[in-house]
Structure 1
Amino acid sequence: MTSTVVTKLKRYQLFTVAVVVIAITIGVFSYPGDTDIATAQVEPIKEYSLSSLRDLNQAFIDIAAAVKPAVVTVSTERILRQRHFNPFGFPFANDPFFERFFGPYRYKEQPREREFRQQGLGSGVIIDSDGYIVTNNHVIDEADSVFVRTFDGKKHRAEIVGADPKTDIAVLKIDESDLEHLTFGNSDKLRVGEIVLAIGSPMSENLAHTVTQGIVSAKGRSDVGLAEYEDFIQTDAAINPGNSGGPLVNLDGELVGINTAIVTRSGGYQGIGFAVPSNMVQSIMNSLIAEGRVIRGWLGVYIQPISDQMAAALDLEDTHGALVSEIADDSPARSADLKEGDVIVSVNGRTIASPGELQSAIASTSPGTDVEIEVIRDGKHKSIDITLGELSDDLSGRSTDLGPVDQRLGFSVQSLNRQLADQYDLNLNLEGVVVVGVEEGTGASRAGLKEGDLIIQLNRQKVRSLSDFEEIVADLDSGSSILLRIVRGDRSLYLAFELS
């Protein structure tokens, strides 16, 4: 049998050689004048190109080998109890016809309790040789038991040291020592386009320590809707369910992020993943280990994003920054020179492009720290030194939700009087005009202006009365940008749109 196969293989090889020779002969002698066809051939790959590719390939291999021992699979178990009645109980219970002849049915069936075990899966990374592990809060949230499987295959029961739902970070601890662990990289120095690797356990424990590669697609992603404090690294490194809590590492094998979530329409990877930056992770982790809770810095401002209309009204070059709409009483910001209407553009030299970035920058800074805040005020840059306070649980750190902002002025106002103050629950001692009607579909309605809002400024000019308001409006040209400062409830906000 074997000799037959070999013989056939040799015959096939001889036939192939003959065909090749014939083909070459035809190619040479059939087209003697076509030198391009006769001499065309694939250019050999230059050795230095291959060498560069081999070096990059070896780098990926080395990074994966160095990082994988510090990556763990996190499995959780949650016990659910459900009370139910026997569906095949007495069929005539509470039946009026039956009770008419036999009297009320007196036996009361006792509900039975069934127990279900809900399993969960995620990833984590060892960040300390003594067994501290970082993962996502949503991986271990509401779990009755948490287990960690290390690279050597051993399964350990894990203790939850602390968790922070506001950043979706949790810290676990296993009773081991001399563990291989990762070091933190500086996520602030991470650049868009930089190569990163993601490691975790997608879909199943059987796929533990899966390594994928991509780049940093963007930084500072906020308003994603995943956590209260958002400053995500966006990456196209493949992240799937089960990768949550695993590390995102740079080419130095340093931890630069904790993989958290993906944007998908199919439930699987579609090229958009998010990771919590390592600087935020390290701050949260240190606080949870040392204090058992997260201690955050507090500035004491209410902030909002900047629309195109606001940028035009404030003479800003772009929409980057966070607009200060109100300053809290007895706050660090109130004690300093910060003012309503300031646009915060940097904190300690770190560029602030959105309210989310400001929240993250302040929250990740320890109370008592002196920070240098750069603002734009009246078109000029100004630096302000502020000592941060401590954010308490009852203080909101979120920016004001204004809804969409667009074009056109279309609303009516009246002078503030007792009747309107009672109707809209306004402070009669305030100065301004009351919005008593907003036309649907106008720039004002799209900007978020509502009936009952008290206008106290128009284009940064004080509005004390109806005559003040009418005088300012009379000087406006068609297409002018409108910037309103209003009081709504116990908060002041800025709204902007264009006058048609």
Structure 2
Amino acid sequence: MSLRKLMFSAAALVILALGGSLAVSSWSGTAPPVAQADLDPPIETERVVPQSDAQVQLSFAPVVRAVSPSVVNVYATRIEQQAASPFANDPFFSRFFGDRYFQTRPRESQSLGSGVIVEGSGVILTNSHVINGATDIRIALNDGREFAVDLVVEDQQTDLAVLRVREPGSVTFPAITFADSDQLEVGDLVLAIGNPFGVGQTVTSGIVSALARTGVEASDYEFFIQTDAAINPGNSGGALVDLSGHLVGINTAIYSQSGGSVGIGFAIPANMARLVADAGVTGGEIVRPWFGAKLQAVTPDIASSLGMAAPHGAMITEVAPAGPAERAGFQSGDVILSVDGMPVDDPSAFNFRLATRPLGSQAELVRQRGNSQDTVSFAVEAAPRPIDGAIASISGDTRFAGVTVRQLDAALSEAKGLPYDAAGVIVTAIEPNSPAQAMGLRVDDVILSLNGTETRDASSFSDLASQRVQTWQIILQRGGRVSRAIVSG
């Protein structure tokens, strides 16, 4: 089975028990029968027929009527480079005919997804992978009207993006209301709305199958709602709503072997989606809390050594010097069990819980140290901003022209998976078709030294990289490996 990230709309099958319990047919397999005496006494329920027309006609239609105008189709157009010849990647033909015979040509491609209107002025929430790399984005309302939109926020850490209608005119758009996704329980009825397979807006129903799912996709905040409501290609960015018509999640992925729905769909919880949507509404950037420590899951062996009944929680393995966690008294070996009363089963759950707490607030963290537990009041704060001079952009007549670097600090090192004491500068941006790009530099390269001189900060890197020399000896770290290269000046 493979997990496929898809752009889609939703659909599924739900069973309603009206005024009674569901009858379950007997299984005709070959397992030996179980004696009635071995079973708990059956729960007696009275089976009754519906007593009124209203009970006979129970329907999701009122919810759908209220919510469907807030769900839109998202059309993203991309310009991609396509090889003009099918032999372009064949080394035999490239060797004899040269690359000039195998030039690429631009090709326009379109993708389809869904989105949710979250603000009446025309702010739409969708998935980042729906619009990633798009050169033109349009939305279509359920009544057929189309609008051009601009990308306001793209947050790949959560796979969410915010769009804004470019010229709304006098139109007031029907915005959806957010629910508190922390109040969801397994078994709650939900509806998924979107545009599967491009057939048009579609509604499917199901239940919440599980909460706090991790390992779904490679995002920094894995904490998904799982549902059996049918979700298919084209449904990404669509709405998962409760029976009050409130948004509980943004549909984002399915688990499937064929690419179609098999009843295992995932949605980003509304409490995380709301943070990204708020940034899009206000036009500000997304600023998240920083804990200042690295975490790992609690294994059965660790749980046994700490006297825990079951392996759960997030264990601190390293603490950033002078960071928020250290100031709050945390140290390596501590296990965080809950945040504001919400249980923490693993590091992903802790990251989600902390990320959804407002900056400047106090969070109550239950900690286990050794065989004892206590509660720590933690000040929720953002990572420190880069100090003056921590960022340098290189221009002029140099091989490094077009590169932007930032010197490493504890928060940035943690975000990039580096040790807290990592030294050097990290590449944060490279201009297209620049000398730096032609030289082979990549975003997230950590440049350690130039011509034998350490680049411990942005200032020293800028001074060195702006020089004119015949040869550059570069030592950099890429993907956890240190490489050395010599290039002409």
TM-score range, shorter chain: 0.5 to 0.7
Query: In the alignment, is residue 126 of structure 1 matched against residue 144 of structure 2?
Result: no
Aligned-residue offset at 1:378: 2.2
* Residue in structure 1 matching 2:139, options 138, 145, 148: 148
Structure 2: tracts of 5 or more residues without a match: 1-46, 88-92, 385-410, 419-479, 481-489
* Cα distance change on mapping 1:397 and 1:94 into 2, 3 Å: closer
The structure with the largest helix share of the pair is 1
1:362 matches 2:354: yes
Per the alignment, residue 170 of structure 1 pairs with: 161
Task: Indicate conservation of the 8 Å contact 2:213/2:226, yes or no.
Answer: yes
**What per-residue deviation string (whole Å, max 9, x for no partner) do you get for residues 182-241 of structure 1?**
10011000111000000000011xx22200000001111122234221110010000001
Secondary structure in structure 2 of the residue aligned to 1:376: strand
Aligned residue in 1 for 2:237 = 245
Aligned positions of 1:435-454 closer than 5 A: none
- Residue 278 of structure 2 aligns to a residue whose secondary structure is helix
Q: Does the 8 Å contact 1:359/1:397 carry over to 2?
A: no
Query: Which residue of 1 is the match for residue 205 of structure 2?
Result: 213
Q: 2:462 maps to which residue?
A: none
User: What residue number does 1:409 align with?
Assistant: none
* Long gaps (5+) in structure 1: 1-44, 88-92, 97-104, 401-488, 490-500
Residue-by-residue CA offset, 1:106-137 (whole Å, 9 max, x unaligned): x9977765321111010001111110000000
The match for 1:189 is 183
State the partner residue of 2:70. Answer: 70
Aligned to 1:48: 50
2:264 to 261, 268, 272: 272
Distance 2:182 2:56 in 1: 30
| Per-residue Cα deviation, 1:288-317 (whole angstroms, up to 9, x for no partner) | 443543210011111101111111111111
**Structure 2 residue 412 is the aligned partner of structure 1 residue 394:** yes
Task: Quote the residue 1:261 is aligned against.
Answer: 253
Q: 1:95 deviation in Å?
A: 12
Pick closer, same or farther for the CA change 1:108–1:379 going to 2, 3 Å.
Answer: closer
Q: Give the partner amino acid of 1:136.
A: N
Distance between the aligned counterparts of 1:231 and 1:52, measured in 2? Answer: 38
Counterpart mapping for 1:452-491 below 5 A: none
Contact preservation (8 Å) 2:194, 2:201: yes
Shift in Å at residue 140 of structure 1?
0.3
Q: 1:225 to 1:81 in 2, by over 3 A?
A: closer
Alignment of 1:374-385 (within 5 A): 374-385=366-377
Deviation of residue 47 (structure 1)?
Answer: 3.5
Does residue 298 (structure 1) correspond to residue 290 (structure 2)? The answer is yes
Q: Aligned letter for 1:376?
A: Q
State the secondary structure of the residue aligned to 1:386: strand
1:287 to 260, 270, 279: 279
1:312 aligns with 2:330: no
Distance in 2 between the 1:86 and 1:135 partners?
A: 35
- Normalised TM-score (structure 2): 0.64
Deviation at 1:343, TM superposition (A): 1.1
User: In structure 1, which of residues 187, 191, 200 is the aligned counterpart of residue 194 of structure 2?
Assistant: 200
Question: Using a 3 Å threshold, how does the CA distance of structure 1 residues 399 and 248 change in structure 2: closer, same or farther?
Answer: farther
Residue type matched to 1:379 in 2? N
Tell me how far apart the structure 2 counterparts of residues 351 and 166 of structure 1 sit (CA, whole Å): 23
Of stretches 376-385 and 133-142 in structure 1, the one that deviates more from structure 2 is 376-385
**What secondary structure does 1:203 align onto?**
helix
Relative to structure 2, which stretch is displaced further, 230-239 or 355-364? 355-364
Corresponding residue to 2:326 among 306, 324, 334: 334
Q: Deviations over 1:26-74 (max 9, x none)?
A: xxxxxxxxxxxxxxxxxxx94336767535x33x011111111111000
Q: 1:179: which partner in 2?
A: 173
Does the Cα contact within 8 Å between 2:81 and 2:104 map onto a contact in 1? yes
Distance in 2 separating the partners of 1:95 and 1:318: 61
The amino acid of 1:356's aligned partner reads: S
Q: Which is higher, the Rg of structure 1 or of structure 2?
A: 1
Q: Deviations over 1:348-382 (max 9, x none)?
A: 22221211010111223333322111111222220
Kindly tell me: are residues 195 and 257 of structure 1, through their superposed partners in 2, closer, same or farther at Cα, counting changes over 3 Å?
A: same
**How far did residue 329 of structure 1 move?**
0.8
Question: TM-score normalised to the size of structure 1?
Answer: 0.63
SS at match of 1:282: helix
Distance 1:230 1:108 in 2: 43
Alignment partners' CA distance in 1, 2:99 and 2:185? 69
SS at match of 2:412: coil
Counterpart of 1:210, as a letter, is T
Q: Relative to 1, partners in 2 of residues 1:186 and 1:243: Cα closer, same or farther, differing over 3 Å? A: same
- Larger RCO: Structure 1 or Structure 2 (Cα < 8 Å, ≥ 6 residues apart)? 2
Q: Deviations over 1:323-359 (max 9, x none)?
A: 1112111111101122221110111222212110101
Aligned counterpart, 1:222: 214
Amino acid across the alignment from 1:279 = N
Give the AA of the match of 1:165: Q
> Taking structure 1 as reference, are residues 148 and 316 closer, same or farther at Cα in structure 2, changes over 3 Å only?
same
Aligned-partner Cα distance in 2 for 1:95–1:53? 75
User: Could you say what secondary structure the match of 1:389 adopts?
Assistant: coil
User: Using the alignment, how far apart are the partners of 1:208 and 1:328 within structure 2?
Assistant: 50
Return 367-376 or 77-86, whichever deviates more.
77-86
In structure 2, distance between residues paired with 1:190 and 1:295: 26
Q: Considering only aligned residues, what root-mean-square deviation do their CA atoms show, in Å?
A: 2.9
SS in 2 for 1:365: coil
1:235 and 1:108, CA in 2 relative to 1: closer, same or farther beyond 3 A?
A: closer
Shift of 1:94: 12
Q: Which amino acid aligns with 2:303?
A: A
> In the aligned structure 2, how far is the partner of 1:238 from the partner of 1:366?
33
Per the alignment, residue 161 of structure 1 pairs with 152
- Partner Cα distance (1:288, 1:198) in 2: 23
CA distance in structure 1 between the aligned counterparts of 2:254 and 2:306, rounded to whole angstroms: 36
SS at 1:263 equivalent: strand
Q: 1:108 to 1:249 in 2, by over 3 A?
A: closer
SS at match of 1:47: coil
**Do the aligned partners of 2:119 and 2:281 also contact (CA within 8 Å) in 1?**
no
